[in-house]
Amino acid sequence: MQIKKQQIKQNKKITIDRIALMIGKGFSGMDKRFAQVDKRFAQIDERFDRMEMKLDSLERRIFAIENILTEHGRDIRAMKNILAEHGSILAEHGKDLLEIKSELQALKKSDNGNSDKIFELEQRVGILEAKTV
């Protein structure tokens, strides 16, 4: 081998066989590098696939939560409507109770507070007022 190198250096010629050998070694090195790169890309693809599966799972969970919140929103709006209806009804009853209370006070004054019936009705109106507040 040493002799060949010296001959090559002296002749400064490279044989076709030598060029073919150099090219072959270069290609085999490139093949190894490409194999390493392919392996790395396969690992990255696997990682992306796992991430996509996790993202799909998270997306399904988010959709489920959105659906639940939408249902709760509908329920809350329905409850608000019911409360608004009951609030207006309670306000009307509150006005009625105030009128009844003032009429009872007027009757009490005219009767000088001697009627047990008026006293009983005042007590009942007081209880109803507490319930409407």
pTM: 0.45
38: tokens are 């392919």
In the chain, what is the straight-line distance between the N-terminal and C-terminal CA atoms, in Å? 110
C-alpha R_g of the chain: 48
83: tokens are 């409360």
pLDDT of residue 125: 78
CA–CA distance, 125 with 105 (Å, rounded to integer) = 11
Please determine, for residue 49, whether its predicted confidence score (pLDDT) is greater than 70: yes
Q: Model confidence over 75-96: pLDDT tens digits?
A: 998 988 888 887 777 777 777 7
For the chain, what are the domain ranges?
Answer: 9-132
Q: Are 121 and 104 in contact (CB under 8 A)?
A: yes
Please state the length of the chain.
Answer: 133
Tokens 């030598």 sit at which residue? 18
Q: Model confidence over 53-76: pLDDT tens digits?
A: 999 999 999 989 899 989 998 999
